């Protein structure tokens, strides 16, 4: 775009009324051309005065209180419709997916466990008939044990989800964003911390599978100490949740960083690996 | 800053400077006295008050809110047309200022215009993400019919930048209604020229001409206003 073309668009550019490709072209030219940049600044100064024309409305007293309360509690957002809607919709997407999967799986498990129990009891009555039946009963009892373990895990998962729901609904829960790194560019998590409940919850979307033997591990830095906060598993649809608690021996002081790594084994590693998949969104990233 | 600090065990410490020994004993030199004299937030330029926010002085935020809360709220309300949403945006704007006062760059312009552009941009973002095509219809209709009001219509026409605000309104009032309309739709509605043309069922070229002529007329009318007052 040359100067003449920029001059034809400079007013709309200052007003933010150009379509994106045109605006980008003007911006690129202005970055190189001092004369056009000066003209753009002049129009920008004009546009910047437009909000002074609005009729004044008085703010409600509660807003002043909310602003000052928010400032006095660093990071603590006063109850905000914007935050609630954003978190609730993200949480709803994850929780609905998990809940549907959990309910279906719990139903299947329940049938499976009941069938296995009935089969096992039937075989118990026949066990004296021969060694072959005893072997079959052993196989069934092993399958029953596996199914009951899975049922217990499902119970824990449902309990975890109820805690996440409680966190999302907690108006004082505090929010952080974790953004996917180049290892998981589409991934995004919300981390909610409730001082009142003393628990945190991680809600993730678009998390890729961690690999056949891999797992995701959450970490925090507190007073210079790195703390393992627990693991999480990505569901087939990329969603994942985890409830975390600070260990009793965690040092005092603020949490200065948090991130998620992909680890190669199931065991909790003593220190974080180098495959960081989620990191804190930079502060002020959306500032304009 | 995110909520991470809220997991700290230490409460926020508001830095308040105790009076120096010299000041207490009346021994301070004029220079020391000037350096230790508390800033009068009511009359200090906002750029000075922002510097105090960077030192975590809650009274500085309080003073800026008292001075500019109404107009930030009014701009937000003008854009989103919803009082609850406007309150949320106002709250966000001031808390962002509290947490990131460094985002204001004094070398790039006045504090008030920066603050209002932050509010306007945040409101436009919100508008685009949620209500633009639906709930905003009624507000747009009202905006399109809105005449440039005299300050006398404004129940809160107080001392805050009164001259400047009156000047901007008068400048807008001097524009032909069709030019004022496209400028308001672009600035307060966040519409592009193409979108305005669609909305108004006017050729794109007509809208572009109106935007150009409108701003070309406004520019000389508002030159000089931007450097006045705080």
Asked if residue A227 lies in contact with residue A247, where contact means CB atoms within 8 angstroms, the answer is: yes
Q: A13 falls in which pLDDT band (50, 70, 90)? A: very high
Look at B75 and A130; give whichever has higher pLDDT.
B75
Residue A252 has pLDDT above 80, yes or no: no
Of A174, A253, A280, the CB nearest to B6: A174
Look at A173 and B51; give whichever has higher pLDDT.
B51
Q: A11 falls in which pLDDT band (50, 70, 90)? A: very high
Kind and range of the H or E run holding B66: helix B58-80
Q: What CA–CA distance (Å, rounded) separates B118 from A287?
A: 8
Quote the percentage of chain B above a pLDDT of 70: 66
Nearest residue to B146 (alpha-carbon basis) of B112, B119, B172, B109: B172
For chain B, list the domains and their CATH numbers. 12-132 (1.10.1740.10), 146-230 (1.10.10.10)
Say if the Cβ atoms of B12 and A72 lie within 8 Å.
yes
Nearest residue to A12 (alpha-carbon basis) of A38, A35, A46: A46
pLDDT at B16: 35
Residue B134 has pLDDT above 60, yes or no: no
pLDDT at A288: 22
User: What does the pLDDT look like over A182-209, one tens digit per residue?
Assistant: 888 888 888 887 766 667 888 888 888 8
Q: Is residue B6 less than 8 Å (CB to CB) from chain A? A: yes
Contacting B residues, span 117-176, partner chain A, CB-CB under 8 Å: 117-122, 126, 130, 148-149, 153-158, 160-161, 164-165, 168-169, 172
Say if the Cβ atoms of B3 and A19 lie within 8 Å.
no
Question: Which SS3 state, helix, strand or coil, does residue A278 take?
Answer: strand
Interface test with A, best of B6, B87, B123, B192 (most A CBs within 10 A): B6
Q: Closest Cα of chain B to A196: distance in Å? A: 11
Residue B110 φ/ψ, nearest 5 degrees: -75, 155
Look at B158 and B207; give whichever has higher pLDDT.
B207
- Using an 8 Å CB-CB cutoff, list chain A residues near B80: none
Q: Closest Cα of chain A to B32: distance in Å? A: 30
Contacting B residues, span 17-36, partner chain A, CB-CB under 8 Å: none
- Using an 8 Å CB-CB cutoff, list chain A residues near B208: 12
pLDDT at A143: 75
Look at B33 and A50; give whichever has higher pLDDT.
A50
- Using an 8 Å CB-CB cutoff, list chain A residues near B71: 51-52, 54, 56
Residue B122 has pLDDT above 80, yes or no: yes
- Using an 8 Å CB-CB cutoff, list chain A residues near B4: 75, 176, 254-258, 280
Look at A2-16, A257-271, B82-96 and tell me which has the smallest mean pLDDT. Answer: A257-271
Question: Which SS3 state, helix, strand or coil, does residue A189 take?
Answer: strand
Q: Is residue B62 less than 8 Å (CB to CB) from chain A? A: yes
Residue A132 has pLDDT above 50, yes or no: yes
Q: What CA–CA distance (Å, rounded) separates A29 from A40?
A: 11
pLDDT at A225: 84
Residue A83 backbone zone (phi > 0: left; psi -120 to 50: alpha; other: beta): alpha
Length of chain A equals 288
Look at A18-32, A165-179, B176-190, B192-206 and tell me which has the smallest mean pLDDT. Answer: A165-179
Residue that has been written with the tokens 């960081």 in this structure: A276
Residue B144 has pLDDT above 50, yes or no: no
Say if the Cβ atoms of B212 and A287 lie within 8 Å.
no
Q: What's the angle, vertex CA A275, arms to CA A274 and CA A281, rounded to 5?
A: 105
Token pair, residue A235, equals: 């569901």
Say if the Cβ atoms of A70 and B1 lie within 8 Å.
no
pLDDT at B56: 84
**Residue of chain A whose alpha carbon sits nearest to that of B118:** A288
pLDDT at B227: 47
Residue B4 has pLDDT above 60, yes or no: no
Say if the Cβ atoms of A176 and B120 lie within 8 Å.
no
Of B84, B118, B222, the CB nearest to A49: B222
Tell me the pLDDT of chain A averaged across its residues.
Answer: 76
Helix ranges restricted to H, A127-238: 131-169
Rounded to two decimals, the ipTM of the complex is 0.72
Residue A271 has pLDDT above 90, yes or no: no
According to DSSP, the β-strands at A215-222 and A255-263 are antiparallel
pLDDT at A108: 66
Highest mean pLDDT among A61-65, B22-26, B102-106, B203-207: B203-207
R_g (Cα) of chain B, nearest Å: 21
Highest mean pLDDT among A113-117, A170-174, A277-281: A277-281
Nearest residue to A189 (alpha-carbon basis) of A236, A259, A255: A259
User: What does the pLDDT look like over B175-190, one tens digit per residue?
Assistant: 999 999 999 999 998 8
Q: B50 falls in which pLDDT band (50, 70, 90)? A: confident
3-state SS string for A238-272: CCEEEEECCCCCCCCCCEEEEEEEEECCCCCCCCC
Say if the Cβ atoms of B109 and A78 lie within 8 Å.
no
Chain A, chain B: beta-carbon pairs less than 8 Å apart: 231
Kind and range of the H or E run holding B89: helix B83-99
Look at B95 and B164; give whichever has higher pLDDT.
B95
Residue B130 has pLDDT above 90, yes or no: no
Say if the Cβ atoms of B2 and A174 lie within 8 Å.
yes
Say if the Cβ atoms of B168 and A50 lie within 8 Å.
yes
Asked if residue B70 lies in contact with residue B165, where contact means CB atoms within 8 angstroms, the answer is: no
Q: Is residue B105 less than 8 Å (CB to CB) from chain A? A: no
Look at A265 and B110; give whichever has higher pLDDT.
B110
Say if the Cβ atoms of A11 and B122 lie within 8 Å.
no
Q: A104 falls in which pLDDT band (50, 70, 90)? A: low
Look at A210-224, B64-78, B167-181 and tell me which has the smallest mean pLDDT. Answer: A210-224
Q: What CA–CA distance (Å, rounded) separates A53 from B172?
A: 8
Say if the Cβ atoms of B118 and A288 lie within 8 Å.
yes
Concatenated DSSP letters for A188-222? EEEEEEETTTTEEEEEEESPPP--TT-EEEEEEEE
Look at A71 and A111; give whichever has higher pLDDT.
A71
Nearest residue to B100 (alpha-carbon basis) of A281, A257, A287: A287
Residue B34 has pLDDT above 50, yes or no: no
Q: B228 falls in which pLDDT band (50, 70, 90)? A: very low
Asked if residue B171 lies in contact with residue B196, where contact means CB atoms within 8 angstroms, the answer is: no
Q: How far is CA A8 from CA A98, B8, B71, in A?
A: 54, 54, 32
pLDDT at A47: 92
- Using an 8 Å CB-CB cutoff, list chain A residues near B225: 49
Of B1, B116, B118, the CB nearest to A74: B1
Look at A259 and B158; give whichever has higher pLDDT.
A259
Residue B159 has pLDDT above 80, yes or no: no
Q: Closest Cα of chain A to B51: distance in Å? A: 16
Of A8, A176, A284, the CB nearest to B3: A176
pLDDT at A79: 43
């Amino acid at each position: 775009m040359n100067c003449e073309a920029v001059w034809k668009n400079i007013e709309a550019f200052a007003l933010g009324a150009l379509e994106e490709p045109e605006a980008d072209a003007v911006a690129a030219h202005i970055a190189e051309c001092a004369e056009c940049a000066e003209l753009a600044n002049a129009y920008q100064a004009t546009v910047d005065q437009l909000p002074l024309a609005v009729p004044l409305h008085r703010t409600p007293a509660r807003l002043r209180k909310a602003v000052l309360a928010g400032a006095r509690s660093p990071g603590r957002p006063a109850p905000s419709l914007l935050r609630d809607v954003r978190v609730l919709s993200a949480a709803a997407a994850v929780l609905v997916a998990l809940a549907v999967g959990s309910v279906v799986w719990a139903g299947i498990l329940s049938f499976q466990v009941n069938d296995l129990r009935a089969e096992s009891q039937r075989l118990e009555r026949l066990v004296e008939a021969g060694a072959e039946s005893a072997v079959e009963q052993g196989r069934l009892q092993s399958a029953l044990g596996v199914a009951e373990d899975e049922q217990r895990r499902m119970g824990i998962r449902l309990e975890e989800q109820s805690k996440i729901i409680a966190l999302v609904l907690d108006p004082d829960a505090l929010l952080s964003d974790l953004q996917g790194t180049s290892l998981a560019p589409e991934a995004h998590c919300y981390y909610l911390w409730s001082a009142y409940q003393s628990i945190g919850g991680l809600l993730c979307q678009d998390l890729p599978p961690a690999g056949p033997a891999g797992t995701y591990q959450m970490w925090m830095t507190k007073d210079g100490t790195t703390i393992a906060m627990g693991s999480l598993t990505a569901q087939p649809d990329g969603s994942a949740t985890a409830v975390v608690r600070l260990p009793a021996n965690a040092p005092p002081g603020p949490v200065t960083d948090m991130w998620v790594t992909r680890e190669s084994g199931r065991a909790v590693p003593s220190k974080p690996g180098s495959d960081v998949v989620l990191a804190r969104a930079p502060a002020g990233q959306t500032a304009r | 800053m995110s909520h991470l600090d809220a997991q700290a065990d230490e409460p926020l410490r508001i830095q308040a400077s105790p009076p120096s020994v010299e000041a207490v004993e009346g021994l301070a030199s004029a220079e020391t006295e000037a350096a230790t004299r508390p800033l009068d937030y009511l009359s200090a330029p906002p750029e000075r008050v922002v510097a105090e926010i960077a030192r975590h002085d809650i009274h500085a935020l309080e003073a800026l809110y008292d001075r500019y809360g109404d107009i930030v709220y009014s701009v937000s309300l003008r854009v989103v047309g919803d009082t609850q949403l406007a309150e949320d945006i106002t709250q966000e704007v001031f808390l962002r200022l509290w947490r990131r006062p460094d985002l204001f760059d004094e070398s790039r312009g006045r504090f008030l215009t920066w603050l209002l552009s932050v509010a306007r941009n945040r409101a436009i973002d919100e508008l685009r993400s949620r209500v633009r095509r639906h709930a905003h219809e009624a507000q747009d209709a009202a905006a399109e019919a809105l005449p440039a009001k005299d300050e006398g219509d404004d129940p809160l026409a107080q001392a805050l930048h009164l001259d400047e605000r009156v000047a901007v309104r008068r400048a807008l009032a001097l524009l032909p209604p069709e030019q004022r309309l496209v400028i308001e739709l672009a600035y307060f509605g966040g519409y592009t020229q193409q979108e305005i043309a669609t909305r108004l069922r006017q050729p794109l070229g007509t809208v572009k001409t109106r935007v150009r002529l409108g701003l070309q007329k406004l520019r000389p009318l508002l030159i000089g206003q931007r450097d006045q007052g705080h």
